[in-house]
Amino acid sequence: MLLVFVICCLIAGRLGAMITEPALADWYPGLVKPAWTPPNVVFPIAWSLIYLAIGIAAWLVWRQAERGELGVPLALFFFQLVCNVLWSVAFFGMRDPLLGLFAMAALIGAVVATTLSFAKISRTAGWLFLPYILWLSYATALNVAIWRLNA
């Protein structure tokens, strides 16, 4: 089951990448970005590690949950994966940093709800979401800066 959760995360990541890649070729390079924007190679590495961590977290919750406890945490988990892909749709697919901010707000809300839900069942699972929350905080700041610099 561990592999199933990790693969689900990687599939979400691949869907997001498929939406992102065309914009990386012809739209994103032309945007004004802050000096603290990392090189493009950092993003797939960070996301792969995050997807691995949250896939493990979902597996821990699946293993440790009492009967009847899994519905809400796993629904939140899969919802945040959908929100993750939708951010790629908004920012890169629609090429709209402002819409990306709205999608990011939904994503952060879903991730925080998932984290709290997971932490009730497995403290380790909750902690495994911390890098995701930190990365989303950085990504939000970057999204805001790109929106402001290109408005």
List, in order of start, the domains of the chain with CATH numbers.
2-30+43-150 (1.20.1260.100)
What is the pTM (predicted TM-score) of this model? 0.95
Kindly report the average pLDDT of the chain as a whole number: 97
Percentage of residues of the chain with pLDDT beyond 70: 100
In angstroms, how far apart are the furthest CA atoms of the chain? Answer: 52
Distance of CA 47 to the CA centre of its chain: 8
State the pLDDT at residue 11: 98
Q: Which residue has the tokens 């800066």?
A: 145
Quote the CA–CA distance of 29 and 64 in Å, as a whole number.
Answer: 45
Pair 84, 139: CB distance under 8 Å: no
Question: In this predicted model, what pLDDT tens digit does every residue of 115-149 receive, in sequence order?
Answer: 999 999 999 999 999 999 999 999 999 999 999 99
State the pLDDT at residue 67: 84
What is the pLDDT averaged over residues 43-52? 97
